Structure 1
Amino acid sequence: MLHVTKSYLPDLKEYVDYLEKIWSSNHLTNDGPLLLELEKKLAEFLEVDNIVFVGNGTIALQLALKAYNVIGDVVTTPFSYCATTNALIWEGCNPVFADIDPISLTVESSQLENKISAKTKAILTTHVYGNAGDLVKQEEIASNAGIPLIYDGAHAFGVKYKGKSIFTYGDITTCSFHATKIFHTVEGGAVITKEKKMAEKVRELRSFGHKGDIYLSAGINGKNSEFHAAMGLANLKHFNQIKGHRRKASELYELSLDKKVQTIQWNPSVERNYSYFPIVGFNNEHLLHIIKCLNEANIFPRRYFYPSLNELPYLLKQACPVSEDIANRILCLPLSASITDAEILEVVKIVNLSY
């Protein structure tokens, strides 16, 4: 059985070595030594100034919005996981959807600009599959409007844009370290920002809004544990190996898939992390046919992302024809740090026959 991904696990002894440190310190949570070590090593590895480790990627989004006190209209993408939109709704925001580019699948800068009004309080958009639009132009748009630019970088761990970490663009970026991600801490996420003051605000909100006996704001419990930090420290050592395997797997897909199989176009300014391998069917019926053929061979890809978020049943309808079309045709093929050439070629054989 082959699934869309398979979580990477380090050698058990590596993880146990960290567990022994936890047993020795008896420090399980509340900014323990392993968590602080992980934050330091992540900041160095990702070449960012400030990173705050949190419970998951959704809490990271909520903390980013709360740190900027964003309430009201937020221009956002319809092509992302539902957590991006749900975080906005939970924080009292109104999603205003800007349609995506049909090739890169990220929000077009012109669409962002056209959707900004006097009521817009922020921009929140996604580096889809680790891909990117014109980030410099988007920074300019946000600056001219006087609003924060927040990026959902859930897929973008280790990605570079124009030679530097993609997490250095915008005012604040969030990331997910969920078990399905290329780098994971089982459950977890992070908030990344250039401003130390903003990072301290996120830390405050993450820890119930107080420091010791000094109560500063109405925060939440967005902390993470030493056990999750331990998994992150173990996995970070292997990230380049994980990425290298996935790169070779992606190259084999690209080499072997029939020319009729549509893939997405990567921004030439992006240094990829190979976190996903999406293909695009001719239409929804064709996509369902591909899935059926793969499932019959015990291969389980994922419709990632579906549906287009502007079509979620609990939202008022906003038309985003490009996103709606792509969401009905997109499919992520199996990709992991342990997928074999034989497994890839089996997937390719079935997909090619389906076109």
Structure 2
Amino acid sequence: MKLTETTPAMPALARLPQVAPVERPTPVTQPFMPPLGEYLPYLETIWSNRWLTNSGPYHQELERALEQHLGVEHISLMSNGTVALWTALQALKVSGEVITTPFTFVATAHALRLAGATPVFVDIDEQDCNIAPAGIEAAITERTSAILPVHCFGHPCEVDAITRIAEINDLRVVYDAAHAFGVQVDGQSILRHGDLSVLSFHATKVFNTFEGGAIVSPDGRTKARIDRLRNFGFHGDTIMATASINGKLNELQSAFGLLQLRYIDGLIARRAQISRRYHAALADIQGIAPFRVEGVTLNHSYFPILVTDEYPVPADALCARLTSAGILARRYFHPLICDMPGYRDLPSAQQPLPVARRIARQILCLPIHPNLSDTLVERTIDILANG
């Protein structure tokens, strides 16, 4: 799928609080911290009503606010994205083999193993770094129960092709949408696809609640099951329907999320501004290949580039050069999960996976976050331009 980016009307950037520059290493991403004074009234309310967890008023308000903001009907807040992934798999009773991507954060595969399923890694598409539908079809066996694709870097997967494959083979689909907060295709949330979609609200994400996550369900009945699973499996106060975990989000984090939502449009607009500058500056640098997307409303959660053989030094050397200058670029996702000690024993880890291995070798993510100054953006560009 060829992607093109659509840019919505930009909100005013002036609303973002100004932060004094600090001479310290520049991280690849950094959480936005709203003014502390705006958080204090939430804390005062929490201190007053003494409702700290167990689906308190801010928890319920944040679920409703996120449903409205993201254009979905049923959201269940969770304590973190990994717990959310595990709970989604439990809710669908996923077992056996699950086809997924090796080019993602380890939490994707960890959730499968914690749920008792076996990850089956297949190759990715070089255009968007997402799982390749042809690889999914080739990997299906009688033991396959589900597909766990990842919207890597917020680039939407080939959802129509994946839906077709799942329907033909009677498979469940759980999307790891950790990077995809607010991403839309044709004006519709990418979170509407699959049986369930899972978000992460970790501090490194576009929208964060310190730690946190959420599951997007297609209907109220599924949400109710997930809500039970995140509360030890209880149905009501005394009936335990099934053994489960404590995966609830507390009131302090929920309140922080509500405050983050006040700024989210401006935060994404600032990310888009940085992304446009990178694209313009890097277009003529031989051997540096940014990803270009079309027809998609992005959240600009990451700015990945490929450092190809035409560039004077490989990706690891360029990363080291940036780091020595105080710019902490990251090699997401290198090494591949299938090459890590905990997963090398899987049969699918022995497959060639040529595209994933090449991209893992060439990938580099440049700093992009609302706190990033124009000066640091230009310094990053200058280092890349001078090889």
Q: Which TM-score applies when normalising by structure 2? A: 0.89
Q: Which runs of 5+ in 1 are unaligned?
A: none
Tell me the amino acid that sits aligned with residue 339 of structure 2: E
1:227 pairs with one of 237, 252, 276: 252
1:255 pairs with one of 273, 277, 280: 280
Residue of structure 1 equivalent to 2:104: 80
C-alpha distance in structure 2 between counterparts of 1:10 and 1:42, whole Å: 18
C-alpha distance in structure 2 between counterparts of 1:274 and 1:7, whole Å: 14
2:317 pairs with one of 289, 307, 314: 289
State the Cα distance separating 1:29 from its structure 2 match: 0.4
Q: Is the 8 A contact 1:304 1:331 kept in 2?
A: yes
State the Cα distance separating 1:282 from its structure 2 match: 2.3
C-alpha distance in structure 2 between counterparts of 1:77 and 1:326, whole Å: 13
C-alpha distance in structure 1 between counterparts of 2:113 and 2:129, whole Å: 23
Cα root mean square deviation, aligned: 1.3
State the Cα distance separating 1:310 from its structure 2 match: 1.7
1:131 pairs with one of 155, 159, 169: 155
Instruction: Give 3-state SS (helix, strand or coil) of 2:118's partner.
Output: strand
Residue of structure 2 equivalent to 1:217: 242
**Over residues 156-195 of structure 1, what are the superposed CA-to-partner deviations in whole Å (9 max), with x where a residue is unaligned?**
0000023200100111000000001000000000000112
C-alpha distance in structure 2 between counterparts of 1:33 and 1:235, whole Å: 17
1:324 pairs with one of 357, 361, 379: 357
Q: Is the 8 A contact 2:285 2:385 kept in 1?
A: no
1:203 pairs with one of 227, 237, 243: 227
The within-5 A match list for 1:185-196 is 185-196=209-220
Instruction: Give 3-state SS (helix, strand or coil) of 2:93's partner.
Output: coil
C-alpha distance in structure 1 between counterparts of 2:67 and 2:331, whole Å: 32
Tell me the amino acid that sits aligned with residue 289 of structure 1: A
Instruction: Give 3-state SS (helix, strand or coil) of 1:8's partner.
Output: coil
State the Cα distance separating 1:133 from its structure 2 match: 2.8
**Over residues 120-157 of structure 1, what are the superposed CA-to-partner deviations in whole Å (9 max), with x where a residue is unaligned?**
01000100010023211211111111111110000000
Tell me the amino acid that sits aligned with residue 176 of structure 2: D
Residue of structure 1 equivalent to 2:180: 156
Residue of structure 1 equivalent to 2:21: none
Tell me the amino acid that sits aligned with residue 299 of structure 1: I
State the Cα distance separating 1:265 from its structure 2 match: 3.4
C-alpha distance in structure 1 between counterparts of 2:34 and 2:239, whole Å: 40
Q: Is the 8 A contact 1:109 1:133 kept in 2?
A: no
State the Cα distance separating 1:337 from its structure 2 match: 0.7
Give runs of ≥4 in structure 1 deviating > 6 Å: none
C-alpha distance in structure 1 between counterparts of 2:219 and 2:197, whole Å: 12
Taking only the aligned residue pairs, the percentage that are identical comes to 38
1:245 matches 2:270 = yes
Q: Is the 8 A contact 2:150 2:157 kept in 1?
A: no
2:91 pairs with one of 67, 85, 91: 67
C-alpha distance in structure 2 between counterparts of 1:5 and 1:241, whole Å: 16
1:274 pairs with one of 296, 300, 312: 300
1:55 pairs with one of 55, 65, 79: 79
C-alpha distance in structure 2 between counterparts of 1:274 and 1:149, whole Å: 25
Tell me the amino acid that sits aligned with residue 153 of structure 1: A
Q: Number of residues paired by the alignment?
A: 353
1:118 matches 2:157 = no
Tell me the amino acid that sits aligned with residue 291 of structure 2: I
Deviates more, 1:278-287 or 1:154-163: 278-287
C-alpha distance in structure 1 between counterparts of 2:157 and 2:220, whole Å: 26
Q: Is the 8 A contact 1:97 1:318 kept in 2?
A: no
Q: Is the 8 A contact 1:300 1:334 kept in 2?
A: yes
Instruction: Give 3-state SS (helix, strand or coil) of 2:149's partner.
Output: strand
C-alpha distance in structure 1 between counterparts of 2:119 and 2:244, whole Å: 23
**Over residues 301-323 of structure 1, what are the superposed CA-to-partner deviations in whole Å (9 max), with x where a residue is unaligned?**
11111111221212223321211
C-alpha distance in structure 1 between counterparts of 2:376 and 2:216, whole Å: 36
Residue of structure 1 equivalent to 2:326: 298
Residue of structure 2 equivalent to 1:313: 341
**Over residues 227-270 of structure 1, what are the superposed CA-to-partner deviations in whole Å (9 max), with x where a residue is unaligned?**
1001100001100000000000110011112332111232x232
Q: Is the 8 A contact 2:151 2:180 kept in 1?
A: yes
Q: Which runs of 5+ in 2 are unaligned?
A: 1-24
Instruction: Give 3-state SS (helix, strand or coil) of 1:96's partner.
Output: strand
Q: Is the 8 A contact 2:26 2:367 kept in 1?
A: yes
C-alpha distance in structure 1 between counterparts of 2:246 and 2:149, whole Å: 25
Deviates more, 1:268-277 or 1:246-255: 268-277
Residue of structure 1 equivalent to 2:63: 39
1:341 pairs with one of 369, 374, 379: 374
